[in-house]
Amino acid sequence: MSENARINPCDIIRKKRFGGELSEKEIHAFVQGVVDGSFADYQISALLMAICIQGMTDRETLALTLEMARSGDMLDLSGIPGVKADKHSTGGVGDTTSLILVPLVACCGVKMAKMSGRGLGFTGGTLDKLESIPGMRVDLSIEAFEAQVNRIGCAIIGQTAELAPADKVLYALRDVTATVDCLPLVVSSILSKKMAAGCDVVVLDVKTGSGAIMDTPEKSRLLAETMVRIGNLSGKRFSALITDMDQPLGNYIGNALEVEEAIDVLAGRTRGALRDVSLQLGAHILRNAGVVESVEAGVCLLEEKIDSGEGLRRFAQMIEAQGGDPLVTQDTSRLPKAKAKIELKAGSNGYLAAIRTADVGNAAKLLGAGRERKTDEIDPSVGIVMHKRVGDQVSRGDVLATLHVGERSDKIGAYNLLQSALLLSDTPVKAPALVHAVVE
């Protein structure tokens, strides 16, 4: 009889149902039962709902996070000299910061060992963006991943099948039991993968607004504070920025389009919100890693890496190391291009008052840039380019956005959804803040 078999799942469920604090032994038994199948799906679901209703203490949340991290492979990056860092975003639209900050931070001497995921729903996935680069591979072995980080300072790959396997089971059940937004379960899901990935410093980008999982600053702050607190209790260095998602972060939405915008930022051709948030996140990594004394100094150092061209060259090195075409960094026409373009024009004079960001992301998904299920095939060439941002003055006939469409795109559905997502006002509107708060 296994150690876990001595703990009755019903006893754990009953204890949490009545608001009790689970012990480390009980949480260990629960996670092991999830992984080895000794806990039935209906028992796991019952406990998830009890946790959702009763909550968890910090001690419980930390124990759950660590047990989930230990449920599979734990990467040991100690053989790579220097500080190893990672960044995680809770997901948004036009959120291409990883492609910018990873090579820039690596230029400053911090090793960026990043594992990312694919897009699901209206949020874009870093792996899908990278795979729009001809030949680019994201399925490196752990040995190749570590060797590349050691050699050029950075790599972005997909999460291995054995990284926090308990999370895959729990997330699938959370998705069908209305417990996706339960705070301790969100925290343990995100942090378990980051802790298993073996980095010393992690900076979190917690989105807030109409295109975010947490749609209000209050919800986003609570999530950020909890993740930073639990993350720091694990012995690693965590910080979080709460950033705006009441409009797309970048102006390009879609896989190859977002790679193109990232290249334009690294080449110094494009400024704006995407660049600013990327620099802020990267600067916090540099500060937490001890490279600079302040975030302001970190921003200046990263700007130097853009101005010198070093950041763009490092991105080209990373692409080439992972089998991709490094010449895309010099000629973005080598990226996949859509078959046709459709312009969405303003029907009246006024000011762009609001953007329903989730609808913009869903419009891009209708074009083929995103997926509803993990098995769905995406078109890397399609997407949307936004020409106006909240607060901009517009005249009748101005192009608000351009849809890049393919043969399988739902052009009419995407056009109508995008049109309804852009709201005009007769009076001036103030642009939303870009960074709402910093949580240390």
Please tell me the predicted confidence (pLDDT) of residue 375. Answer: 72
Query: 89, 188, 189, 192: which is the annotated catalytic residue?
Result: 189
Check residue 236 and report its DSSP letter: S
Query: 28, 88, 207, 365: which is the annotated catalytic residue?
Result: 88
In angstroms, the CA 251 to CA 257 distance is: 9
Query: 174, 237, 284, 287: which is the annotated catalytic residue?
Result: 174
CA 223 to chain CA mean position, Å: 15
Residue pair 42/6 in contact (Cβ under 8 Å)? The answer is no
Query: 73, 86, 128, 167: which is the annotated catalytic residue?
Result: 167
Query: 16, 129, 193, 284: which is the annotated catalytic residue?
Result: 193
Please tell me the predicted confidence (pLDDT) of residue 119. Answer: 63
Q: Using DSSP bridges, classify how beta strands 350-355 and 393-394 pair: parallel, antiparallel or unpaired.
A: antiparallel
Specify whether 436 is catalytic. no
Please tell me the predicted confidence (pLDDT) of residue 118. Answer: 73
CA distance between the termini of the chain: 45
Q: Which of 343, 349, 344 is nearest to 396 (CA)?
A: 349
Q: Using DSSP bridges, classify how beta strands 435-439 and 237-244 pair: parallel, antiparallel or unpaired.
A: antiparallel
Specify whether 396 is catalytic. no
Please tell me the predicted confidence (pLDDT) of residue 120. Answer: 58
Please tell me the predicted confidence (pLDDT) of residue 367. Answer: 96
pTM: 0.92
Q: Using DSSP bridges, classify how beta strands 84-89 and 435-439 pair: parallel, antiparallel or unpaired.
A: unpaired
- For the chain, which ranges sit under pLDDT 70? 1-5, 119-124, 161, 374
Question: Hunting for tokens 């008052």 — which residue is that?
Answer: 353
Please tell me the predicted confidence (pLDDT) of residue 2. Answer: 47
Positive or negative torsion for Cα 225, 355, 171, 117: negative
In angstroms, the CA 410 to CA 366 distance is: 5
Please tell me the predicted confidence (pLDDT) of residue 231. Answer: 93
In angstroms, the CA 145 to CA 149 distance is: 6
For 403-437, write each residue's pLDDT tens digit.
999 999 999 999 999 999 999 999 999 999 999 99
- The set of residues, in sequence order, having a beta carbon less than 8 Å from that of 262 and lying 6+ positions away, is 96, 99, 100, 129, 274, 315
Specify whether 88 is catalytic. yes
Q: Using DSSP bridges, classify how beta strands 435-439 and 383-386 pair: parallel, antiparallel or unpaired.
A: unpaired
Please tell me the predicted confidence (pLDDT) of residue 125. Answer: 84
3-state helix, strand, coil in the chain (%, to 5): 45, 15, 40
In angstroms, the CA 278 to CA 249 distance is: 10
Please tell me the predicted confidence (pLDDT) of residue 4. Answer: 47
Domains and CATH numbers, the chain: 4-55 (1.20.970.10), 84-329 (3.40.1030.10), 336-425 (3.90.1170.30)
